[in-house]
Amino acid sequence: MAKVIIIEDDVEIRRLVAEGLADKGYDVDSAASAMEGLEMLVSVRPEVVVLDLGLPDLDGGELLRMVRSISDVPVIVATARDDEDSVVAMLDVGADDYVVKPFSVAQLEARIRAVLRRVGREGHRAPIEVGGLRIDTAAREATLDGEPLDLTPKEFDLLRLLAERAGEVVSKREILAEVWREPYGGSERTVDVHLSWLRKKLGETAQRPRYLHTVHGVGVKLVAPR
C-alpha cells in the first residue's frame, strides 16, 4: 500500500500515528525533526507526507516550502489546536489538507485516502473526447467543436467528471462527493445550478439537450449528440 512519512517531534504522537497507520496497511516511516524529514523525503519517496507544525528546528511553513521545492508529494498538515491563521498560511504555501489536533487515526486516514484519490485521478491522462467536446485535464481546458469554452473551476470539474464517465448516468449525490469534496458537500440544488450554466455554455437547454441528458429521478449523463 501507500508509503507515508510522519514528521512529528512528539514521541508519543509519532508512535501512535505510525502504528495506527501501519495497522491499516500503510508503509510508514517517521522523522522526529525537519532535517530528518527532508532526508527521508528524498530517500523514501513517500506518496504522502504528514507534517506536524511546531517542530523545534524549523518553522513549518519554511519546511513546507523546502518540501515543495523538491517534490509535488501531497502534504497533510497536523496543527495544534484550531489555529486558523497558520492553517490558511499552510494551504497557501501548498499544503493539500490538514487535521487539527487532537485527531484520531481514523480521521487522518480519511484525509490520506482523499488526498491519494485526488492525485491519483489527476495523473495527466490523454484528453477526453466525446463528440465535439474535448477536455484536456492536464491543461484544464475544454473546447467544443474547436471553440474554447470559458468554464469556471466547478464547471470544469463537473464536465470532466461526466466526460470521464460518458454514457453512464451519474447521480447528483455522486457528483457532490466527487466535485464538491471540500468541506463535505452541499445541496443537490447547487449541482442543478451549475449544470444549468454548463448547458448554457454548451449552447443547449435542458429541453433540447445535446450532450447533457438528465435522467429523471436518477441523475445526468453526458453523451455524444447523434
Partner DNA sequence: CCCGGTCTTAAGGAGTTCTTGACGTTCCCT
Partner DNA sequence: AGGGAACGTCAAGAACTCCTTAAGACCGGG
Residues that bind a second copy (CB under 8 A): 23-24, 35, 38-39, 41-43, 62, 65-66, 68-70, 92-94, 104-107, 109-110, 113-114, 138-140, 152-153, 167-169, 173, 177, 181, 184-185, 187-188, 215-218, 221, 223
In three-state secondary structure terms, 176 is helix
Integer Cα distance of 203 and 198 in angstroms: 9
Residue 147, Cβ density class (10 Å: 0-12 exposed, 13-18 middle, ≥19 buried): exposed
Residue 140 contact among DNA, a second copy, none, beta carbon within 5 to 8 Å by kind: a second copy
Residue 80 contact among a second copy, DNA, none, beta carbon within 5 to 8 Å by kind: none
Structural contact between residues 105 and 16, judged by C-beta atoms closer than 8 angstroms: yes
Closest approach, Cβ 167 to a second copy, in A, equals 5
Residues in contact with DNA by CB under 7 A are: 152-155, 172, 180, 186-190, 192-196, 199-200, 205-207, 214-219
Residue 195 contact among a second copy, DNA, none, beta carbon within 5 to 8 Å by kind: DNA
Kind and range of the H or E run holding 157: helix 153-164
Report DSSP state, residue 170.
B
